[in-house]
Amino acid sequence: MTHTTASVFRRPLLSLQRLLLAGLVAASAAPALAQQPSGNAPRTVDYIVAIVNRELVTNAEVQQRLARIQQEATRAGQRLPPRDELRRQVVDALIDERAQLTYARENGVRVDEAELDRAVASVAANNKVSVTELAERLRKDGIDITRFRQTLRDQLMLERIRDREVQGRIKASDAEIDAWLDKQRSSAASAAEYNIAQILIAVPESASIAQATQARERAEQALQRAQGGEAFDALVRELSNGSKEQGGQLGLRPADRLPDLFVNAVRSLNAGDVVPQVLRSGAGFHVLKLVEKRANDGLTIVQTRTRHILLRPSPQVSQEQAIQRLADFKRQIIEGRASFPQLARENSDDGSAAQGGDLGWVSPGQFVPEYEEAMNRLQPGQIADPVVSRFGVHLIQLMDRRSVTLDPKQQRDVARNAIREQKSEEAYNEWARDIRARAYVEMREPPQ
């Protein structure tokens, strides 16, 4: 299976602006069919709202987009602006799309029929219907399948041109990367957890200078013995005026639930180290040992290990047949009649077949979005329903997940990608304004 980096434009559309930019149905959308007006719904009189270059924005499109946005906002619990303002934003978004589509066509962006077929199949699979059933449902809802395919083609073209044009505008400097990493490390340090054992040599509030000096000497002796290799828990039992349970351990606690004096002393130590000097607090003198530290000194990511069976549609095997075949494989595995590795070795069209479909440990963003989204919904051991991607149809099983600390180069790569994503919306808006400024736009008044 070829790995690609997921585009920022292929993530879930949650914000109002992203809702406005969504087309009739995204190539990986889920229940898009439910968003279409039924054949029995009253029809609004159609007219031209705007002419963009040589393309039209119609009132019917505006009304359909408004209805979908309202549905999505209700589902997400979002508040929308007043109807007139929302309609203005929708019209602006449709004009931007038309201008960008013109630009994409002029710059040679193309979507071939095979890629379009896979997009249609992906919509069908996500709606849990076959391509034939999808076409029938569209027909019943009064939606022309040819127009539906063209809308999908337009969406793919928009994604492609946005990827190509916007990503080139985004830069992440070394100074920005350093600042981002410093902020992450600071956040990680404040969230670290420590288990500290202590020997407390108490000093009463009314103690004389001589008594305090004597207590310090006892603490210094305890420190020397601990550094000399004596068991810390034995020294606790012999010398400490504090709790002696569990060798004087305070238990694993977040840094903000420990005295700053203790945290600052153990922050740079490794588990098992003794703080090299005696500490003084209002309670007396402390000899500390770091028993355990759970800290993220760098950056960690959750890696995932999956295996899959890939079937590539061909003249001999249609996409629907591939989906049905993989669904049967899933039943065989769940019922114990076959093993996943065996079926992968015998049937998968991917290079991982020899390894029983095992793709090894991967970091977020390495798989195409369709695969990664399905994978992320699984628990270890679970098998997803067949998933359609640009490479074919997959049967995916999640094997395991793990947290991994990144090396310095990987940390900088993560920082660079995070900064680029933070800048992506601003870069997109700037590019969209440029494309809009080049376009011919003529607004039309509604008929009286």
Could you give all domains of the chain from N- to C-terminal order, each with its CATH number? 8-167 (1.10.4030.10), 192-294 (3.10.50.40), 300-405 (3.10.50.40)
306 forms bridges with which residues in the sheet? 398
Place 44 in a pLDDT band, splitting at 50, 70 and 90: low
**In the predicted model, is pLDDT for residue 114 greater than 90?**
no
In which band, very low, low, confident or very high, does the pLDDT at 298 lie, cut at 50, 70 and 90? Answer: low
Q: Are 310 and 394 in contact (CB under 8 A)?
A: yes
One-letter amino acid for residue 345 of the chain: R
- List beta partners, residue 436: none
What is residue 64's predicted lDDT score, i.e. its pLDDT?
Answer: 87
From the DSSP assignment, how many helices (H) and strands (E) are in the chain?
14, 11
**Which pLDDT does position 193 carry in this prediction?**
84
Q: SS3 of 321, please? A: helix
As a whole number, mean pLDDT of residues 63-90 equals: 87
Q: Which residue has the higher pLDDT, 92 or 206?
A: 92
Position 316 pLDDT exceeds 70: yes
- How high is the pLDDT of residue 32? 36
- State the average pLDDT for the chain: 83
Residue-wise pLDDT tens digits, 143-164? 888 888 988 999 899 988 988 8
Mean pLDDT, rounded, for 331-360: 94
Distance CA 386, CA 348 (A): 13
Say how far apart CA 423 and CA 267 lie, in whole Å.
34
DSSP 358: E
Three-state SS for 328-396 is HHHHHHHCCCCCHHHHHHHHCCCHHHHHCCEEEEECCCCCCHHHHHHHHCCCCCCECCCEEECCEEEEE
Please tell me the distance from the alpha carbon of residue 258 to that of residue 263, in angstroms, as a whole number. Answer: 7
